[in-house]
Structure 1
Amino acid sequence: MSAPTLTEFVLANTTLTPVPLVPEVVLHSAAEAMDLWELTHHDQPPFWAFPWAGGQALARHLLDNAGLVRDKKVFDLACGSGLVAIAAALAGADSVTANDIDPLALTAVQLNAAANGVAVTVLGDDQLDSDAHGADVVLAGDAFYDAAITALVLPFLLRAAARGALVLLGDPDRAHLPPGRFAAQARYEVPVPMTLESTETRGATVWRV
């Protein structure tokens, strides 16, 4: 797909909707996951089209504790819709970079950032060998959904924390969250789409690495 077609695809298959736990933010969100997934022809679900529980919890935490990111350089890993990146920008971050390997996600982030009146820089390709480009704060919402992904993401996050970055995660008790590695910061009950989670709410914790 060319860039204009990506934009048209996102707009044609989503509706601008307030995020349940973070109503200050609106996202271009889809109504049905499986139908949209088939249209994308991707191996992975359209993570960019829904406000996932871990991302909602982390976004809520940033808006309620703006000092965590205010005037800081922020990097949002596997950003999906850009919800967490947008929350960081609304909380006063000096700059926010949203990274994802899915071009549709990067398109959605640009549309969502514009809809919320904030500036977010999008960055494609796999950045896991980087140092998060020197960011003061590194964020990841719902990144531990798969064992293989966890094995790739965890060294990146630990490396960022080791060099002094504040590393915060939002996770709704996924099975692959490494036990005993992180410090809990806050807990939220998050409204989620029944079609994705088979429940109306999920508990999600914000962790510090």
Structure 2
Amino acid sequence: MVGSVRRSRGRSGGHVTVPLLPELTLELAAEDVGLFDATGGYRSDTPPPFWTFAWPGGVALARFLLDHPAHVAGRSVADLGAGSGLVAIAAARAGAASVTAVDTDPAALAAVWRNAALNGVTVVTSPTPVPADVLLAGDVFYSGEVARRLLPLLRAHSGTVLVGDPGRGYFPERLFEELAAYTVPVRRTLEDTETMRVRIWRLKPR
């Protein structure tokens, strides 16, 4: 999911370490801020600032890449629905030859640029998908509309597709094989729980 930080009420958490990812630092919303708190300063035609949070699917996928760098090392990578850039940054840290963070929200792409610089890696940004050996998607199956747009792109890809998903309602599990699972600490302001079990999936060959 997917920053100059235009948060309502100035409630920025600043530069913080992400749970399960002590190697990485991101610019995120403060711990007591929820998604709708963060939308107060936005027009109705502006996307919600998903990029101000580290969503559990992205956290687990980033952890998986750092634990198993062979999936991306030396390969070109595109992170779809990049949000804060967490997964893209992890891919770069894991030795990807090139990484592009893809998001339709210009504020998310700005956040990716800042967070990549903060972590000392290079990530290119794009508002549209680009060719890559590996496609990554962390926590993107949260709505039917997004799933309908994204799934054909993933299924048409001839290379590796890796997804981190915490059981969102629109994830088509039958099309994927499970590679790993992580228990991820999450914000009660976002998920109404303290942890979520997140699975890492690889798209099955067609």
Question: TM-score, normalized by length of structure 2?
Answer: 0.89
Q: What per-residue deviation string (whole Å, max 9, x for no partner) do you get for residues 7-35 of structure 1?
A: 3637x634110010112111101021222
Tell me, yes or no, if structure 1 residue 114 matches structure 2 residue 117.
yes
Cα displacement (A) at 1:157: 0.4
Unaligned 5+ segments in structure 1 are: 1-5
The answer for the alignment partner of 1:84 in structure 2 is 87
Q: Distance in 1 between matches of 2:192 and 2:164?
A: 19
The answer for the alignment partner of 1:144 in structure 2 is 141
Q: Distance in 2 between matches of 1:8 and 1:139?
A: 24
| Counterpart pick for 1:40 among 36, 39, 42 | 42
Identity percentage of aligned residues: 47
Going from structure 1 to structure 2, the CA distance change for 1:171 and 1:8 (only over 3 Å counts) comes to closer
Q: Size of the alignment, in residue pairs?
A: 194
Superposition pairs for residues 39-188 of structure 1, below 5 Å?
39-41=41-43, 44-124=47-127, 127=128, 132-160=129-157, 163=158, 165-188=159-182
Q: For the aligned residues, what is the CA RMSD?
A: 1.5
Q: Would you say the 8 A contact 1:86–1:118 is kept in 2?
A: yes
Cα displacement (A) at 1:134: 2.5
The amino acid that maps onto 1:28 is E
The answer for the alignment partner of 1:22 in structure 2 is 21
Q: What per-residue deviation string (whole Å, max 9, x for no partner) do you get for residues 62-109 of structure 1?
A: 000011111110000010000000000000111000010111101110
The answer for the alignment partner of 1:9 in structure 2 is 6
Q: Distance in 1 between matches of 2:153 and 2:24?
A: 28
Cα displacement (A) at 1:36: 1.6
Q: Distance in 2 between matches of 1:108 and 1:39?
A: 17
Q: Would you say the 8 A contact 2:77–2:99 is kept in 1?
A: yes
Q: Would you say the 8 A contact 1:192–1:199 is kept in 2?
A: yes
The amino acid that maps onto 1:180 is R
Q: Would you say the 8 A contact 1:14–1:49 is kept in 2?
A: no
3-state SS of paired residue (1:9): coil
Tell me, yes or no, if structure 1 residue 191 matches structure 2 residue 194.
no
The amino acid that maps onto 1:123 is S
3-state SS of paired residue (1:7): coil
Structure in which a larger fraction of residues adopt strand: 2
Cα displacement (A) at 1:61: 0.3
Going from structure 1 to structure 2, the CA distance change for 1:79 and 1:167 (only over 3 Å counts) comes to same
The amino acid that maps onto 1:156 is L
The answer for the alignment partner of 1:3 in structure 2 is none
Question: TM-score, normalized by length of structure 1?
Answer: 0.88
Unaligned 5+ segments in structure 2 are: none
Cα displacement (A) at 1:147: 1.0
Q: What per-residue deviation string (whole Å, max 9, x for no partner) do you get for residues 128-182 of structure 1?
A: xxxx43201100000100011111110000011xx2x110000000111113110
Runs of 4+ in 1 over 6 A off after TM superposition: none
